[in-house]
Homo-oligomer: A and B are copies of this chain.
Amino acid sequence: MVDSVEVKEMPPEQNSKAVVIGEHIVEIVSDSGEGAQKCGQSFAAISAKMGNGVWTVEIIPAEIQPPARSRAGASGIRIRIGSKKITNTGNEADLVVALNEQVPYGRIDQKAYHEGTIMLIENKWRTDDSEYIRNQYSDALVDFKNRGYKVLEIPMEEECLKIVKNARKGKNMWVLGMLVFIYSRSIEKGEAQIRNIFRKKSDAIINSNIQLFHSGYDWAQENLDFQFDIPVIESDEELVVMSGNEALAMGVLASGMEVCSMYPITPATSASHLLAEIFSKSGGLIHQAEDEIAAIGFAIGASYAGKTAVTITSGPGIALKTEFLGLATMAEIPLVVIDVQRGGPSTGLPTKVEQGDLLAVLYGQPGAVPKIILAAATIEECFHFVILARKLAEAFRTPVYVLSDTNLATGQQPFPRPKIKKDWFAPPIDQSPWKEDVKPYQWDEKTGLSKRPIPGQAGGQHTVTGLAHNRNSQVSYIPEENQESSELRSRKFASFQKTLNPPIINGKEKGDLLIVGWGSTLGAIEEAVGLAQKEGIQVSSIHLRFMSPFQPGLDDIFKNFKQVMTIEINYSDNKDNPQFTSSSRRYSQLAWVLRARTLVDVDCYSNVEGQPLSPNRILGVIKNKLGIK
């Protein structure tokens, strides 16, 4: 038997005793199919709409249909809410709602909770028909207590059954009500949210869900002896909230591209799902191709004959697109390639985060294939980088890559509502006659740039080829011509680099340690660096957005720090393991490229645990690197 936290009566005046906190991390975990994600997303949306900073991360089970009540089945969502802007998923959770007592173990495996975490557990298992389950339940509760969690047993099922026949459907809204009370959220906004998410359903369904919501709220108000408030810092800024994949989809729309040719693959696919809904209404179309090779081939064909097209994929898809990516660079076809990275190698960890595609994207193709690679660090950048990529692709007549990852893809974050600009949208393609004396590859000697003839342009006829070719797009095996055309293709990227500014330093310009990051770790790194700086540690960070070519000025920045290291979510050999020597150690991906580029002894911390890096972990790495306890 477990003594759970006693449930006491609450004083009637709401909010009067609510403890004011700066932020909290909440998790809702359940078997899959119990609506935890919908509950959490609603909770996040309500909070965001009140003006709080939020960040959500989905908790995805390992299996599509894991056994019920298993640690492998932990499905749900984490929501970090704060008074200020939240930039990452944070450290351990402060409060957990668990629909059974087994799923929290999936998260405990991932070190998601700390001593003192409040755990609100469905209590129906205590009286389950199966003795086995009853025992599992009470064992777990003992164990949770031993781990120092504050456990509360909540009669969720029981309360829901007072309103609906099948508590499985609807319990999530009851939980939402409870959370709205606990965090002193607006009841009106909660109701509005429910009406919105069920807007396609019958009134009966909407009403029963609103009833459940109120029931959860009321029950909590009557029975819980604690309440929090996370006050809002007022701002006039208009905000939007969305996931990284939604931001990518809206970026495609905003770029004016009209063809997205893709093949489904986790975690990239959901970008196409939103796009599919909104694209056709705005003059765009999704083509779900028969495979990734055909997807990029189709995109290249569409780009060649029209506006720049986009293909969206993840690691295994990037692998399959390798040959066509080489062709696109060689034949100078503008193209946007979005890679929402997942855990690798091979099929790897499809639903988990990794920043493991950098080297493959940089160097995957045989021969010299220079490219422009952008890496979004925030959900907001997912939106803006697609627009930028389309422009660069056309200006530099080349494929442009946008890297995202699972963290960004499935996370939710508010950001300032972008002010739409007309020049985001691709203009209609040029169909005017081609100037007679201009060749199809009229490379500018200095910049390597040239204008492309588009089918329909009278006089622009030529045959695109992946073979070595001259300015007339004629196949050429003349040694000097291949040397020259290779060099001119390369110059485009040197030219592009000249337009870039050095990265901005987060912190002082000199110090003991410089952290270099890229991609979705931005928030966690900056939070950790901030904490370290507060402790007086001489650490700064930079976060790269341009992975190829790099922003200039890295040498100058690096030389002001005693040590430089990257923090990444991908594989590197552990330096402390004696098995790896300095001549064999494999570095994490950005570190490796920075070493070659700057000749600075760039060290790295990285792992392939498939989890977002928490600020605390990064703080530990910083201290460890500097020998601070």
Contact = CB atoms under 8 A, between A and B. Distances in A.
Interface of A: 62-63, 72, 109-110, 315-316, 318-320, 322-323, 326-327, 329-331, 341, 343-352, 354, 356-357, 359-360, 362-370, 446, 465-468, 475-480, 482-483, 486-487, 490-491, 493-495, 497, 549-550, 552-555, 570-571, 573-574, 577, 579-587, 592-593, 595-597, 599-601, 607-611
Given A327-B346, A483-B608, A477 B571 contact: no
A534 B344 CA distance: 52
B465 A367 contact: no
A490 B322 contact: no
A320 B318 contact: no
B467 A584 contact: no
5 contacts: A62-B477, A109-B479, A319-B322, A319-B323, A346-B367
Contact of A553 (B349, B553, B583, B599): B583
Nearest to A347: B466
A570 B480 CA distance: 13
B480 A609 contact: yes
A575 B550 CA distance: 18
A475 B62 contact: yes
A468 B476 CA distance: 46
Contact of A366 (B327, B330, B360, B593): B360
A468 B349 contact: yes
A367 B357 contact: yes
A461 to B, nearest CB: 21
Interface centre among A341, A477, A586, A592 (most CB of B within 10 A): A477
Contacts of A330: 345-348
A571 B345 contact: no
Given A366-B316, A586-B370, A609-B480, A574 B349 contact: no
Contacts of A570: 367-368
Given A326-B344, A363-B360, A479-B109, A599 B597 contact: no
A600 B596 CA distance: 9
Number of copies: 2
Given A62-B475, A579-B491, A345 B368 contact: yes
Given A326-B345, A348-B367, A486-B571, 11 more contacts: A316-B323, A319-B364, A322-B322, A343-B367, A344-B365, A345-B368, A360-B365, A363-B364, A483-B609, A494-B585, A555-B582
A579 B364 contact: no
A366 B356 contact: yes
A78 B610 CA distance: 56
Contacts of A465: 347
A139 B584 CA distance: 61
Contacts of A479: 109-110, 607, 609-611
A596 B592 contact: yes
- Tell me whether chain A's interface is mostly helix, strand or loop, or mixed: loop
A215 to B, nearest CB: 35
Contacts of A109: 478-479
A491 B580 CA distance: 7
Contact of A367 (B345, B478, B579, B581): B345
B468 A343 contact: yes
Nearest to A574: B487
Pairs of residues from A and B, 6 with the lowest C-beta to C-beta distance, nearest first: A344-B367, A345-B367, A479-B609, A315-B366, A368-B571, A346-B466
A62 B363 CA distance: 28
A583 B550 contact: yes
A587 B596 contact: yes
A494 B573 contact: yes
Contacts of A554: 583
Nearest to A494: B584
Given A363-B359, A494-B580, A346 B368 contact: no
Nearest to A595: B596
Contacts of A320: 322-323
Nearest to A571: B368
B597 A483 contact: no
A151 to B, nearest CB: 24
A363 B358 CA distance: 9
A571 B346 contact: no
Given A322-B320, A345-B326, A487-B574, A552 B363 contact: no
- Of A62, A579, A583, the most chain B CB neighbours within 10 A belong to A583
Contacts of A608: 368, 482-483, 486
Nearest to A66: B477
A446 B579 contact: yes
A366 B318 contact: yes
Contacts of A316: 323, 326, 366
A63 to B, nearest CB: 8
Given A344-B367, A483-B607, A477 B595 contact: no
A584 B319 CA distance: 26
Report which residue of A468, A493, A552, A601 has the largest number of chain B beta carbons within 10 angstroms of its beta carbon.
A468
Contacts of A360: 322, 363-367
B482 A609 contact: yes
B349 A365 contact: no
Contacts of A318: 366
A364 to B, nearest CB: 5
